[in-house]
Each structure stands twice: as C-alpha cells, then as structure tokens.
A and B are shown apart, each in its own frame.
Chain A
Amino acid sequence: MSLIEIVGLSHKYGERTVLRNINVGIEKGEIFALIGPTGSGKTTLLRLIDLLEVPTAGRIYFDSVDITALGRMKLEARRRMAFVLQKPVVFNISIYDNIAYGLKWREKSRGEIRERVDYLLEVVGLSAVRYKNARTLSGGEAQRVAIARALAVEPEVLLLDEPTANLDPISTSRIEQLITHIIQQYETTIVMATHDMSQGQRLADRIGVMVNGEIIQIGDPRQVFNAPQNRQVAEFVGVENIVDGVIISNEEGVATIDVGGNIIEAISSYNVGERVCACIRPEDITLALSKSPSSARNSFTGGVVKVVSIGPLARVEMDCGFSLVALVTKKSAEELNLENGKSVCASFKATGVHVIRRD
C-alpha cells in the first residue's frame, strides 16, 4: 500500500459535490502535483488529507491506517503532516515565534527549538529580521515563513496548496527554489496543488489532473503534457489547437483525419470512422512564407489573423480553413514580417499531432 492511499473519496458542501470518487495512491518520498483549474477541488482534497475536514464518503489511508475513522487519535496522525495554505497565513507574533510554534506545541526543548528555527531562518533567508512581527512581511516573505514553519516540525508529508499563487515572479522562483531544496534535503513526501501547469512540470514526479472534482488523468509530467487523455486535460495543459475531425483512413498507424475538408495526418491507432480531436501544440508548428519540401507531413496555407508577443515569443493566430495558433520566436516573426492578412504556410509533423477520441 502507498503511504497515502485514497479510496473512493467523495465530498459535498451542502448539496454541492466538490469531490467525486477520488482514487489515488501517493508513494513515500514522491512529489505529487494536483493540477487543475481554480475550483476543481484541489484544496478540498488537501484539506481532507490533512484531516481539517471529514469526507462525506470514502477512505484515506495514511501509513496503512484509515485516518478518516480515527476520532481522538487524529492529533497523532496530523502531527506527521504539515499544510501550507494558499493564502500566506502568519500569526501576529515575531517571525521566530511563528516558525517555533509547531515545535512548542510538541513540547520540544528550548535548545532544540532554537537550533531548528535558526537553521530554517537561514534556509528561507529571513535570519536578519527574525524578531520582526510576521504581519509586517510581504506576501512572498510571509509564504516563506509559512513553509519554514511547516518544515520545522519535520513532517513526513508536506501539503502545499498553490504555494506561489498571487506572488510575483521573483517570489515565485524563491519559493520554488525552497521546494527544490526540501526535495533534495529531506525525504518528505509532497502533495502540492497548483493551477500552473509548468510549475507542476518543473517540480513533480507525478501529476494528477483534476477537473470538476474528479482526477481525470494521472501520469508523469511528460505523459500528461504530451498525451492528454481527453479534451479537458488537453485544454488545461496548454494545447491550443484542438481540431475536431473523423478518421478516414489508417495505414500502419498513420491516420488520415478529415477536419472539415482539410486533411491532417497523424500517428494514431484509431480506426476508420472514429470521431477524434487532433491536438497540436502551438510550439510544434513552424511557419514559412511558402511551402517548402520538408519532412513535415502536414502543411496548410492561411492568412494571419492576429499576432501577439508573449515575452521572447510571438503567438500567431491564423485561419487555414480551421483556426490554428502557432508560437514562434519574436525574431522569426520579424523575419517573416508577420502582419494581419499576410499569407503564410504552417507545417507540423505527423508525430506532433496527438489524437484523442471524442466522447
């Protein structure tokens, strides 16, 4: 059995079902990321694991013990976990006392507390301001205090609920560095919720995609990112081109998909007549001014509808019978002189198309 084994877990707030039949096992030492849009039930799942709430139905086994049925023994199980909430919460006392709180509650000796807190203050880079009231800190600093406070009690399981939501990029990267440090230094099992797909990819060993209270796909980040199981997952992991079509032929794994008059070739084992979606990541599409003989099987000419720059990249929307979005570097966008109405040729490989069945 896994360290945390969740079986048939469901939860309701009044009449509203927030979790539906969750089944997942989280291994010891694993970094498991729950990703999904806001309101998909990630926080509720973490709260249930941390015993802050009792589930409507189902069981949660922690180290082979059903913690949902513990009653008075709850405190013992809870003391093996720590939970960092999405909103940085600090007590209205000094930074030092904040980090020491969990240890005081466990009645550790003064010396032990000082040693541990001093070390963690160093780790989160707040040694110099240790006696300042924690309420005076910025959001990012407060979240660092919250993580240090959770680490102080040396939890076997660390639950992180969107630890970098609402933080600026610099604070976010500091928190991520801190999490990476934890992963390298301790054998802590981490369950983290995030709505940031790329954060999940950077930090997690495995990802569970949650939509509407259900985990609809579990896999390693590559798998979830490159081969989403259905349209919802595909949309969430950033596949911008999802084109509906029907398979009209399949020769040795190379399927021809009819997408409203146009033909896309893709690697797929689905049979002729199957209604499918062709998913193409925008970064897998290359743009050129004219059709060039290349290994890409799919090539479409169309007019540019919109060009938006995103950092070093340019997001190009075009219409080639169906709408297609491509991500190219700003430099190549300039070289191609992309502007609205300009005719360009978009091409992508058959292996760059992920085919999923439509329900």
Chain B
Amino acid sequence: MISMTAAVLASLICLPLASLIHFNHFLGKRIVINIIQTLFSLPTVVVGLFIFVLFSRAGPLGGVNIMFTPTLMVIGQAVLITPILLGLIISALGGVDKAIVDTAISLGASGPQVAMAVIREARYAVMAAIIMGFGRAISEVGLAIMVGGNIKGFTRVLTTAISLETSKGELELSIALGIILISIALIVNTALNRIQQR
C-alpha cells in the first residue's frame, strides 16, 4: 500500500517534470539527464538518511512531526524512485517517432496538446516505468526501517518484517514472507511484460 501510494505520488511529479525536460531545449539538458541516470542507483539508506535528517525532531522539517509514520515512508520512497521514473519516462517520450510530433503540430496542436499526444503515444512505456518504480519501492528495506521505524501494525512492511523475523531466528516466517514478496514481484513483472508486448 505504501509503495503503491509512493509510486502514484512519484508519477504525479515525474510525468509533468519529464515532459518539461523532454520538450524544452535548454543549456545543460544532457547533463541533467546524466545526473538523473546516475541517481538510478541511489542507495536506499542514503535517501533514508537524508529524509531522517530532514524530518527528525531537530531537523529543518521536524515541526511537521511525521517521523516514523507511513506518510513519511511514502515521501521517502517517492523520493527514492523519482530518478528512475523521471529517467525512464524521458526515454519513453524520446522513443516516440519525431514524425508523430510533426504530425501533431501540423494538425494544429498547441504546445501542451502536442505533449499530451506524445505521452499518449508512449503510454505503455510510461506505465512500464511506473511499475519499475513500484518494484524498487516495494523491495527496499533500508529506508523503510530508518524513517518508518518498523512499528508493528503501523509502519512494518514486508521487507522490514523479514529483516526483523530473521534476526529473531523465526526463519519459517521470514521465508514465508519472502515468498509473498517474491510473488508480488512476479505479478508486477508479468504485468510489465504484458504491457511491453502490446
């Protein structure tokens, strides 16, 4: 649930942002894209640390008081997967034939209308990008423990539960949870494949 919300939140940010980057020509565009791609491999604990510092009681946003809540986990995971989503959506938009853009323009589409048409063309690749982001969010553990605190029934998620049960020696439970997690990953990947085949 947390990862899904994070994926939705990140997509809402990334779609307009990726369109802005893709459709505008500006100085340093190449560099921006390079930085985004570098951030694909952002370690989850680094994002966790960053969010922790920002939202801990003594941090600049400590007053918001959402430390160790699902809300902050959503924010953290959204930050984590934003580079992947941004990078993949930009390349999805870039994969749309230039002739499609020309055709839209010549049919009298305005700037935003052209962007919408291109996103619509790239919809399957964009959906694949979102699912990839979701996959990364659901499988990470470092950030979830650091900013969620692994509180039972509140901020405990599959990965943090596995981590805890393993250290308690409850291997059967851990393995069972692991199987559930892998099943979710399998379902997500199957969905991804089906979308890409269309």
A residues contacting B by CB (< 8 A) are: 47, 50, 52, 75, 78-79, 81-83, 85, 87, 89, 91-93, 101-102, 105-106, 146, 149-150, 153, 159
Contacts and interface: CB of A to CB of B under 8 A. Distances in A.
Given A101-B117, A105-B113, A91 B108 contact: no
Interface stretch (B15-23, B66-74, B94-102, B160-168): B94-102
Contact of B102 (A75, A79, A85): A85
A106 B108 contact: yes
B190 interface: no
B106 interface: yes
Contacts of A81: 106
Given A78-B108, A89-B97, A106-B108, 16 more contacts: A47-B102, A75-B110, A78-B105, A82-B107, A83-B102, A83-B103, A85-B99, A85-B102, A85-B106, A89-B99, A91-B103, A101-B104, A102-B107, A102-B108, A150-B107, A153-B107
Given A91-B120, A153-B108, A85 B113 contact: no
Contacts of B117: 91, 101
A105 B107 contact: yes
Contacts of A52: 102, 105-106
A105 to B, nearest CB: 5
A266 B57 CA distance: 101
B105 A149 contact: no
B121 to A, nearest CB: 5
A82 B106 CA distance: 6
A105 B102 contact: no
- Considering the complex of A and B, which 3 residue pairs feature the smallest CB-CB distances, nearest first? A83-B106, A79-B108, A102-B107
Give the dominant DSSP class at A's interface.
Answer: mixed
B109 interface: yes
A78 B120 contact: no
Contacts of A85: 99, 102-103, 106
Interface string B115-128: 00100110000000
Interface of B: 97, 99-100, 102-110, 113, 117, 120-121
Nearest to A79: B108
Nearest to B109: A105
Contacts of B97: 89
Interface centre among B107, B110, B121 (most CB of A within 10 A): B107
Contacts of B103: 83, 85, 89, 91, 146
Contacts of A89: 97, 99-100, 102-103
Given A92-B121, A101-B117, A149 B107 contact: yes
Nearest to B99: A89
Contacts of A159: 106
Nearest to A47: B102
Interface centre among B102, B108, B113 (most CB of A within 10 A): B108
Contacts of B99: 85, 87, 89
A185 B176 CA distance: 72
